[in-house]
Protein backbone atom coordinates (compact mmCIF):
# COMPACT_ATOMS: atom_id res chain seq x y z
CA UNK A 1 0.00 0.00 0.00
CA UNK A 2 1.28 3.43 -0.89
CA UNK A 3 0.36 6.49 1.16
CA UNK A 4 -0.45 9.17 -1.43
CA UNK A 5 -1.04 11.98 1.05
CA UNK A 6 2.50 13.49 0.90
CA UNK A 7 1.86 14.69 -2.66
CA UNK A 8 3.33 13.76 -6.01
CA UNK A 9 6.58 15.69 -5.66
CA UNK A 10 7.46 14.03 -2.35
CA UNK A 11 6.48 10.60 -3.66
CA UNK A 12 8.58 11.13 -6.78
CA UNK A 13 11.65 12.00 -4.69
CA UNK A 14 11.31 8.72 -2.82
CA UNK A 15 11.46 6.57 -5.97
CA UNK A 16 14.58 4.98 -7.39
CA UNK A 17 16.30 6.82 -10.23
CA UNK A 18 15.40 4.01 -12.63
CA UNK A 19 11.69 4.26 -11.77
CA UNK A 20 11.76 8.06 -12.04
CA UNK A 21 13.25 7.71 -15.54
CA UNK A 22 10.52 5.21 -16.50
CA UNK A 23 7.89 7.73 -15.38
CA UNK A 24 9.55 10.53 -17.32
CA UNK A 25 9.59 8.31 -20.42
CA UNK A 26 5.87 7.59 -20.02
CA UNK A 27 5.18 11.33 -19.94
CA UNK A 28 7.31 11.83 -23.07
CA UNK A 29 5.35 9.02 -24.74
CA UNK A 30 2.07 10.83 -24.04
CA UNK A 31 0.76 9.19 -20.86
CA UNK A 32 -1.32 11.73 -18.93
CA UNK A 33 -2.24 11.15 -15.28
CA UNK A 34 -5.36 12.62 -13.66
CA UNK A 35 -6.02 12.68 -9.94
CA UNK A 36 -9.55 12.14 -8.63
CA UNK A 37 -11.13 12.61 -12.06
CA UNK A 38 -12.93 10.25 -14.38
CA UNK A 39 -14.68 8.05 -11.82
CA UNK A 40 -17.39 7.10 -14.30
CA UNK A 41 -14.91 6.04 -16.99
CA UNK A 42 -12.82 4.14 -14.45
CA UNK A 43 -15.94 2.36 -13.20
CA UNK A 44 -16.78 1.29 -16.77
CA UNK A 45 -13.20 0.07 -17.28
CA UNK A 46 -13.33 -1.92 -14.03
CA UNK A 47 -16.68 -3.50 -14.93
CA UNK A 48 -15.41 -4.45 -18.42
CA UNK A 49 -12.26 -5.95 -16.89
CA UNK A 50 -14.22 -7.99 -14.34
CA UNK A 51 -16.58 -9.28 -17.01
CA UNK A 52 -13.71 -10.23 -19.33
CA UNK A 53 -11.93 -12.10 -16.53
CA UNK A 54 -15.08 -13.71 -15.12
CA UNK A 55 -14.72 -11.90 -11.80
CA UNK A 56 -17.72 -10.97 -9.68
CA UNK A 57 -19.00 -7.47 -10.34
CA UNK A 58 -19.66 -7.16 -6.62
CA UNK A 59 -15.90 -6.52 -6.23
CA UNK A 60 -16.16 -3.26 -8.19
CA UNK A 61 -16.84 -0.44 -5.72
CA UNK A 62 -19.57 2.05 -6.54
CA UNK A 63 -18.64 5.47 -7.87
CA UNK A 64 -19.97 7.05 -4.69
CA UNK A 65 -17.82 4.77 -2.52
CA UNK A 66 -14.71 5.58 -4.57
CA UNK A 67 -15.34 9.33 -4.34
CA UNK A 68 -15.86 9.22 -0.59
CA UNK A 69 -13.15 6.74 0.38
CA UNK A 70 -10.56 6.54 -2.35
CA UNK A 71 -7.84 8.37 -4.19
CA UNK A 72 -8.17 7.74 -7.92
CA UNK A 73 -5.23 7.99 -10.28
CA UNK A 74 -6.16 7.43 -13.92
CA UNK A 75 -3.83 7.16 -16.90
CA UNK A 76 -4.78 8.29 -20.40
CA UNK A 77 -3.01 7.84 -23.73
CA UNK A 78 -4.36 9.75 -26.70
CA UNK A 79 -7.42 10.74 -24.65
CA UNK A 80 -8.29 7.10 -23.92
CA UNK A 81 -8.39 5.71 -20.37
CA UNK A 82 -5.91 2.83 -20.15
CA UNK A 83 -5.45 2.31 -16.41
CA UNK A 84 -6.62 3.43 -13.02
**HSE-CB of 58 using CA atoms within 13 angstroms:** 1
pTM, entire model: 0.70
- Considering the domain boundaries, does residue 8 fall inside one? no
- Considering the domain boundaries, does residue 15 fall inside one? no
- Considering the domain boundaries, does residue 22 fall inside one? no
Low-confidence ranges of the chain (pLDDT < 70): 1
Residue 61 confidence (pLDDT): 93
- Considering the domain boundaries, does residue 51 fall inside one? yes
What is the domain count for the chain?
Answer: 1
Residue 47 confidence (pLDDT): 96
Residue 15 confidence (pLDDT): 86
- Considering the domain boundaries, does residue 9 fall inside one? no
Other beta carbons less than 10 A from residue 40's beta carbon: 9
Spatial contact of 53 and 62, defined as CB atoms under 8 Å apart: no
Amino acid sequence: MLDLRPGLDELFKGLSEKLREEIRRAYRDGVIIHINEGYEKFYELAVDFHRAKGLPLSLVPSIEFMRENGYLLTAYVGGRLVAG
